Structure 1
Amino acid sequence: MSEQCEWCESNNITKGTDHVYWELPDGTRAIKISDVPSTICHDCQMIYQSDLLIREIEDQLFLINTKEIGPETSFTNLMAQPRLLKRNYFDFTS
């Protein structure tokens, strides 16, 4: 089964990267994250990230010292930041 756009269900999608703006968990500011793996739909023009990737970013931002991140970072740099905890012990969805 081929992948489809989550918005319009088109098969005319590709994988790429995009930049996103993300509010930090403490709500103090937002940061720009560049080169985030994304799905690009060539029919409806949506560019989006998978639910799994969104959860990974949210968990990482929750588990690192966000004061060490400037106003902009790359996805690779963000995910390489050392964690203060091994996992998100406040996520009860799994």
Structure 2
Amino acid sequence: MLDGKRHVHGVDYQKVSADYLHKRQLKSGSAGWVLLALVAVMATFLVNVTAALITAGIFVASLAYFWFYSRHRLVANAPEEEFEAIERAEAELV
């Protein structure tokens, strides 16, 4: 499964096969569960105003946290982007 290790900018990366990444993708039925969760949140807005306001407050607080703090401190990109960057850096060395 693991082909080799690479060290880039102080981080050790392990190159993995396509099968490794494919196994970790969302399962085909996950869209149904997401839809069910959205229906549950929408039902909260229809049934109880207090619960709806609390839910909306948590959502706004989460958005604010991401907007003002977290988005400036993201650790890494997607694995595909990292592998592409490594391959480009290796190509420049040759």
The TM tier, using the shorter chain, reads: under 0.3
Q: Judging by fraction of residues, say which structure has more strand.
A: 1
**When the two structures are superposed, what TM-score results if normalisation uses the length of structure 1?**
0.22
- Higher relative contact order structure (alpha carbons within 8 Å, sequence separation ≥ 6): 1
Structure with greater Cα Rg = 2
Whose helix proportion is higher, 1 or 2? 2
